[in-house]
């Protein structure tokens, strides 16, 4: 059956991430992706979660504590600064990353992600990603500023050299109200 956007995002990551990998949740939000990643990489792996909103940091830490997961470091900073927070030995095992772009559900809708910091983070992650590693972007664009971010990201990923990267677009085209979609980038070499 056709998977929903978030289920498909997790499916893609579960196919590319292995136990012991280092992974990045670039936008912690309410902690759902962080928990998924933590369980996927296992006790020998590690999740680095980032968010610029204190509310997201608190929600994510609470979710991890409820699930008794201890292999995650949650950082109150922009994902574009990930390189300053991850030890070099962990960067050599970077298996994947997920971005949920838009705004934090249930919070201030004027605090949104932007293409500049997302692209900066993606470039850094791509340079450290293992072969066949994956970046998944879940793009919510039905808010003010969302269409601009969507267009910038589509332009950026369309320029990635196919020799080195596969780029997938996955979304529903018959849903109303600007449904979210996925861009997935797999590093080939």
- Predicted TM-score (pTM) of the model is 0.96
Confidence (pLDDT) at 109: 84
Confidence (pLDDT) at 75: 98
Q: How sure is the predictor about 50, in pLDDT bands with cuts at 50, 70 and 90?
A: very high
- Per the structure, how many domains does the chain have? 1
Confidence (pLDDT) at 150: 96
Residue 134 belongs to domain spanning = 5-187
140: domain CATH number is 3.40.50.150
Whether the pLDDT of residue 25 is over 90: the answer is yes
Which has the higher per-residue pLDDT, 58 or 106?
58
CA 15 to centroid of chain Cα atoms: 15
Confidence (pLDDT) at 184: 98
What's the mean per-residue pLDDT of the chain? Answer: 95
Whole-number Å distance between alpha carbons of 132 and 165: 9
Q: How sure is the predictor about 106, in pLDDT bands with cuts at 50, 70 and 90?
A: confident
Confidence (pLDDT) at 168: 98
- Per residue in 61-86, pLDDT (tens digit) is 999 999 999 999 999 999 999 999 99
| Contact call for residues 80 and 117 (beta carbons, < 8 A) | yes
Whether the pLDDT of residue 22 is over 90: the answer is yes
| Across 103-129, average pLDDT | 93
Which has the higher per-residue pLDDT, 23 or 2?
23
Whether the pLDDT of residue 110 is over 90: the answer is no
Q: In what order do the strands lie in the sheet with 22-25?
A: 72-76, 46-51, 22-25, 94-101, 129-139, 181-187, 165-171
Residues 6+ apart with CB under 8 A from 107: 53, 55, 56
| Contact call for residues 142 and 177 (beta carbons, < 8 A) | yes
DSSP string covering the chain, please? -PPPHHHHHHHHHHHH--TT-EEEES--TTSHHHHHHHHHH-TTSEEEEEES-HHHHHHHHHHHHHTT--SEEEEEB-GGGGGGTS-HHHHTTEEEEEEEESB-TTS-TT-B--HHHHHHHHHHHHHHEEEEEEEEEEE---STTHHHHHHHHHHHHHTS-TTTEEEEEEE-SS-SS---EEEEEEE--
């Amino acid at each position: 059956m056709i998977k929903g956007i978030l289920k498909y995002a997790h499916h893609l990551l579960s196919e590319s991430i292995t136990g012991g990998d280092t992974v990045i949740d670039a936008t912690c939000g309410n902690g759902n992706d962080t928990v998924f990643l933590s369980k996927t990489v296992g006790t020998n792996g590690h999740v680095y979660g980032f968010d610029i909103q204190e509310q997201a940091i608190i929600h994510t830490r609470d979710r991890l504590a409820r699930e008794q997961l201890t292999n995650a470091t949650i950082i109150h900073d922009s994902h574009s600064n990930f390189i300053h927070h991850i030890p070099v030995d962990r960067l050599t095992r970077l298996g994947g990353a997920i971005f949920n772009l838009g705004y934090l559900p249930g919070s201030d809708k004027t605090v949104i992600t932007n293409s500049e910091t997302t692209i900066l983070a993606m470039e850094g992650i791509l340079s450290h990603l293992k072969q066949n590693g994956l970046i998944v972007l879940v793009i919510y664009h039905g808010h003010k500023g969302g269409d601009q971010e969507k267009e910038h990201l589509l332009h950026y990923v369309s320029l990635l050299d196919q020799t080195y990267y596969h780029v997938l677009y996955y979304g529903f085209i018959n849903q109303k109200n600007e449904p979210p979609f996925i861009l997935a980038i797999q590093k080939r070499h």
